[in-house]
Amino acid sequence: MRLELHNALVKEIQWGEKTSLKDNVLYVNREEAIEVVAADENFADVQLELARPGESVRIIPVKDVVEPRIKLEGGTSFFPGFCAPMEPVGEGVTFVLKGASVITCGPIVAFQEGFIDMSGPASPYNPFSETFNVVIVAEPVADLEKHAYERSLREAGLKLSVYLADQCKGTKADNVEVFDKGSIVEENNKYPDLPKITYFCMSITQGLLHDTFLYGADMKSIVPTLVHPNEILDGAMVSGNCVSACDKNTTFHHVNDPIVLELYKRHGKEINFIGVIPTLESTVLAGKERTTWMNANLARQLGADGVVISEEGYGNPDTDLCMNAKKCEDWGIKTVVISDEAAGVDGSSQGLADATPEMDGFVSAGNVNEMIEVPAMDKIIGFPEAIAYLSGGASDSLREDGSMYVELQSIIGSTNELGFSKLGCEWV
């Protein structure tokens, strides 16, 4: 499969008479863009705002972030199952507004959302303080059931991202990224002596607004499967989850998955990257056993020598993480896991809710309970009082002057378990 990402760089964003990209400035026709979203009868009110890097702006609470993209060749649109007829992705040409994002914001569901600061001490903890953002603030009609509101808000972000890319698709790309990898048989024949590596992308699939979608299907109703890495980079996975903000994999994270990108860089040189297994995180023991056995067996049948495992969320999913590692290791398949930790505000508590001795290759994405003080912002997009209900916030987090004292877990993507953050460590 060969996928070309034609990246048109966005370095500024403004309202304009016509939605277009000119000299790296994204112009957005506000009224037309609102119409794309406001057609949904579940919304009582829809507003659009712009948020730029370095501005004194706070966006709260955030549901999802989407990178504007559309197919030019090899398909009809993007996000299959949502914005396109059902068909495979991962081949052809996809046009990307690189440096732009659509952010969805609204009073959707209590504690498991987060905030984005475009400047100040919280801004380095997420990638979206560095993107030029169109923010959807959509309020639901009275008494709308939360699942219906979540679905409408999720689809609004996808639709607006496709609209923006579609209006700009005649723009010449600033650069082109090529991802070209054959079938497993072809790659095994090319690189018979390289270790075969696969990737388990654990995803929140617990229901009750904790959902992830693969080709439009709610993953909690399917079994683990194998996909080509190009499919991940081309929009096969969509976030619909309300997991704690710090380790939420937004739709933006999926199409820019750094684990896929890093394994691709090493493919044919150090490793043979045989594929991605998007997999579940069940809430019940029987589901955890079934899923983790299927994951390990898939890796074994593929002849994998090693597996990289990323978690999404913490607490209950820590058991899935341990079981995935143990079952693979018991079959002689080496594992490296990536997770954040909930180690208490002083970092002295046990980082995970579960443990197994076989899980001895561990990469930490940071401590979600670390505290941070963030100053007041000149502009608030959304609902600042929501911090009282967000995981990592409290009733006294929002001060009278607009500043906040919160845990890192209230910041979108701060300890992202795909490694998509700037958190690091050093030996002392």
322 counts as catalytic: no
Q: Is residue 131 part of a domain?
A: yes
Range(s) of the domain holding residue 276: 2-410
Q: How far apart are the C-alpha atoms of 165 and 281, rounded to whole Å?
A: 33
Q: Is the dihedral of CA 328, 332, 338, 341 positive or negative?
A: positive
Which of 105, 168, 201, 242 is catalytic? The answer is 242
Helix axes 30-38, 146-168, angle to 10 degrees: 140
* pLDDT tens-place string over residues 158-216: 999 999 999 999 999 999 999 999 999 999 999 999 999 999 999 988 777 788 999 99
- Please state which of the ranges 79-88, 226-235, 339-348, 403-412 shows the lowest mean pLDDT: 79-88
Q: How far apart are the C-alpha atoms of 230 and 237, rounded to whole Å?
A: 11
Q: Is residue 182 part of a domain?
A: yes
Task: Pull the structure tokens for residue 287.
Answer: 């589901």
* pLDDT tens-place string over residues 89-106: 999 999 999 999 999 998
Q: How far apart are the C-alpha atoms of 153 and 151, rounded to whole Å?
A: 6
- Mean pLDDT taken over the chain: 92
Q: Is residue 426 part of a domain?
A: no
Q: Is residue 10 part of a domain?
A: yes
* pLDDT tens-place string over residues 30-61: 999 999 999 999 999 999 999 999 999 999 99
Q: How far apart are the C-alpha atoms of 136 and 157, rounded to whole Å?
A: 7
Q: Is residue 89 part of a domain?
A: yes
Q: Is residue 396 part of a domain?
A: yes
Q: Is residue 422 part of a domain?
A: no
Q: How many domains does the chain have?
A: 1
Nearest to 98 by CA among 124, 67, 129: 67
Q: Which residues have a Cβ under 8 Å from the Cβ of 86 and sit 6 or more positions away?
A: 80, 215, 216
Mean pLDDT of all residues in 411-425: 85
The answer to whether residue 150 scores a pLDDT higher than 50 is: yes
- Please state which of the ranges 34-38, 251-255, 346-350 shows the lowest mean pLDDT: 346-350
pTM of the model as a whole: 0.94
Q: Is residue 169 part of a domain?
A: yes
